[in-house]
Amino acid sequence: MTYLEPIQYGLGVLSGGLVGFTLGMFGGGGSILAVPLMVYLVGVPSAHLAIGTSAFAVAANAFSNLLSHARLGNVKWRCAAFYSVAGIVGAFIGSSVGKIVDGQNLLFLFAILMFVVGGLMFRKRGAEGNPGAQCSRENVHKVLGFGGLTGVFSGFFGIGGGFLIVPGLLASTGMPIIFAIGSSLVAVTAFGLTTALNYAISGYVDWVLAAVFIGGGIFGGLIGGALAKRLSARKGTLNTLFAGLIFVVATYMLYRSVGQMLGA
């Protein structure tokens, strides 16, 4: 077991607040921040330990934010359930494979995937969606397909998967982004717990760091959720900000991971 310094746990609270804010505002993105924050800011020495710990912390923060969005009526429960069930299976498969892949390679591949998803989100930033969209016999195969694939990526990279779930829900159902954000939190919680439990079996979770991370995330999530409600009325604003966040973090992760690989 790797023990961290007290200041690292303090930085964990700050990092949790940033992740909670992002989850509350975007439904996703919290987990793409959690891994690099734990590795580069908190200073967790092992990529696998950072992945396992962040998966659990993000799942807990996502559940907290889910309660807020549910009270606002932003959750399409049937769609979220189908997506989550398919994703849990995918997350278990992905996390089992991810544990045997070199940690630095995981961070590099993660950054590349983020660039692709960010580009797709930016291209469709002006889409308003259909508020009455539901999961039906006509589109359930799409929901299950996107859910399973998202779960694989989520488990492999150790992320809650919200930044993949939101685009997946938009593509498979055509719902507005504010509903995709709220609904995605069901799947983020499920995916994160599946991944975290799989990593915990191998000793890749720092429970104390996860606890302080969650504490900071609850506070940040309340602020992010309130801001999301306000911005959802502005066409394309949330989509554009979401894509921009992905690009910024992906650029930094790619820079750090390539630098470390070349240095090695």
Which of 209, 16, 188 has the alpha carbon at shortest distance from 91? Answer: 188
pLDDT tens for each residue of 167-202: 788 888 888 878 888 888 888 888 788 878 888 998
- Classify residue 83: in a domain, yes or no: yes
Any idea what the Cα angle at residue 206 is, between residues 36 and 200, rounded to 5°? 100
Which of 240, 245, 11 has the alpha carbon at shortest distance from 121? Answer: 240
pLDDT tens for each residue of 44-87: 888 788 888 888 888 888 888 888 889 888 899 998 899 989 98
pLDDT at 128 over 70: no
- Classify residue 201: in a domain, yes or no: yes
- Classify residue 1: in a domain, yes or no: no
d(CA 34, CA 37): 5
The pLDDT of residue 227: 83
Which residue range(s) make up the domain with 31? 6-263
The pLDDT of residue 46: 82
Q: What is the mean pLDDT of the chain?
A: 80
The pLDDT of residue 30: 67
- Classify residue 162: in a domain, yes or no: yes
For residue 80, the number of C-alpha atoms closer than 13 Å in the C-beta half-sphere is: 21
Whole-prediction pTM:
0.70
Name the domain count of the chain.
Answer: 1
Query: Which residues, at least 6 apart from 1, have a Cβ–Cβ distance to it below 8 Å?
Result: 203, 206
Write down the H helix ranges in 72-139.
Answer: 77-98, 103-123
| 250-253 contacts at long range (C-beta below 8 A, 24 or more positions apart) | 250/32, 250/111, 250/112, 250/114, 250/115, 250/118, 251/111, 252/36, 252/40, 253/36, 253/107, 253/108, 253/110, 253/111, 253/114
- CA quadruple 156, 157, 163, 167: dihedral positive or negative? negative
Report residue 65 as tokens: 């934010």
What separation in angstroms does the CA of 60 have from each of 21, 190, 231, 243? 13, 10, 24, 24
Which of 11, 36, 27, 31 has the alpha carbon at shortest distance from 19? Answer: 31
Neighbour count for residue 173 (Cβ, 10 Å): 26
The pLDDT of residue 31: 66
pLDDT at 43 over 80: yes
pLDDT tens for each residue of 143-174: 899 889 888 877 777 665 666 788 788 888 88
Place of tokens 């990279």: 157
Report residue 122 as tokens: 């930016």
Place of tokens 């921040």: 33
- Classify residue 27: in a domain, yes or no: yes
Report residue 222 as tokens: 């309340």
